[in-house]
Amino acid sequence: MSHPAKRLLDRFVRYVQVDTTANDASTTYPSSPGQLVLGKLIAEELRAMGASHVEQTDNGIVFATLPAVKAKPGPTVAWIAHMDTSPETTGKGVQPQVHANYKGQPIPLPGKPGLVLDPAHHPDLAAMLGKTLVTTDGSTLLGADDKAGVAVIIETAQRLLEKPDQPRGLIRLCLTCDEEIGKGTDHLDLKKLGADWAYTLDGGGTSEIDHATFSADLAEVIVHGVNIHPAIAKDRMTNALRMAGMLLERLPRTMAPETTDGEKGFLHPYKIEGGVDRVRIAILLRDFKTAKLADQADLLRSIARSIEADFPAGRIEINIKPQYRNMADGMEKAPRAIPLAHQAMVAAGLEPRLTSVRGGTDGSRLTEKGLPCPNLSCGEHNLHSPLEWTCLEEMDIACGVLEKMAVILADG
């Protein structure tokens, strides 16, 4: 293993052991203190390696600059990753397991007996023979989403700064907070960032350029019932739990995430809470065509009205909150963004693939706000899960892509 690759591995392992789990119930920004801890650590690393204009804002966002070297006048490009991890699986007490020279065997995860990362169920592992993998111990997620991207950006910055005579364009670095709970760009000042376009490093595998994402809304469904003691409930009780169950049952299975793929969107109920008098259901609305989100909302309302007809004393309230929009809708504002990423990948010896994300990134919101921001691969696999893993060689390849990009930008 080369020294830069070993340093990249050590960096990644160091970052994932800082608990930065986002907290969607928090009223602070960032939503968890570990994000400030990790940001401070990284800001100190950036200063030590010689990056300029290093800053951690009061909101925890880290900025830095790699000044241009022997470069023609040209665009300023930003590399962005998020420091928080998903609240769907805990990120507290992460114990990364490093598996060198992977031989294709199932990998038992010692923190949860019986949990195994098995190539029979995870086909991405088939291409990993001889590579170095990092997994969880099974009791937490790993946090490669998006600390793989964070590590790739910071490692690439160090590699570039170690080559002071190599031409490069002007690069801005930015690490955000709370992307996993939809707030990653809430406090990101685009004027302070000062980029013409950007790239998030928050993608799976290698060689992929995500140029499109879902558009997304959140439906908050509140079912109102009437509670009374069950002993005297006849003709007087309206059970919100029963109404909620009927609503969930009437959602088309053909529109569930577990039955859809490719370009087809979905309706995904993912949280329910409450009792007889009131139930709250959170439902994700997703589609690559933004207009279809309104159709999904209308379907929910139609189902709600049909249930209300059977429960005259009950009521179902549906509130739709916009979340993010398909980045493809705004990519024309920076026509060089995708060709530059393609050129950098080719220069790094890869065969680039344009892909669409069945989800969203900070880049979705940034593009919507006027900063075009495709998403690039950085070795992530099995996101948001105790079965999450990453590949060191894929992360190292992502560093190589960013290095090539910086050199290409020197030509203006």
Cβ pair 391, 125 in contact under 8 A? no
In 3D space, the residue among 222, 339, 227, 220 whose CA is nearest the CA of residue 282 turns out to be 220
3-state secondary structure of 351: coil
d(CA 314, CA 300): 16
Quick check: pTM over 0.95? no
The residue behind tokens 């010896």 is 349
Catalytic residue among 45, 145, 178, 179: 179
Enumerate domains of the chain plus CATH numbers.
3-213+326-409 (3.40.630.10), 215-323 (3.30.70.360)
Catalytic residue among 45, 84, 362, 380: 84
Q: Kind of pairing, strands 171-176 and 77-82?
A: parallel
Those residues of the chain that have pLDDT short of 50 are none
d(CA 119, CA 382): 12
Q: What pLDDT is stored for residue 1 in this prediction?
A: 74
- Tell me which DSSP letter residue 383 carries: T
Q: What pLDDT is stored for residue 301 in this prediction?
A: 98
pLDDT digits (tens, 9 = 90+) for 342-361: 999 999 999 999 999 998 88
Q: Kind of pairing, strands 278-287 and 77-82?
A: unpaired
Q: Is 45 a catalytic residue?
A: no
Q: What pLDDT is stored for residue 267 in this prediction?
A: 97
Q: What pLDDT is stored for residue 360 in this prediction?
A: 84
The residue behind tokens 């969607």 is 24
Q: Look at phi and psi of residue 243 and say left if phi exceeds 0, alpha if psi is from -120 to 50, else beta.
A: alpha
In 3D space, the residue among 309, 316, 234 whose CA is nearest the CA of residue 274 turns out to be 316
What is the token pair recorded at 107? 């990998």
d(CA 179, CA 279): 27
The kind and range of the H/E element at 143 are none
Beta bridge partners of 355: 210
Beta bridge partners of 353: 208
Give yes or no for a cis peptide into 210 (omega within 30° of 0).
no
d(CA 190, CA 14): 29
d(CA 59, CA 304): 40
Q: What pLDDT is stored for residue 187 in this prediction?
A: 94
Q: Is 84 a catalytic residue?
A: yes
Q: What pLDDT is stored for residue 410 in this prediction?
A: 97
Q: What pLDDT is stored for residue 45 in this prediction?
A: 98
3-state secondary structure of 191: helix
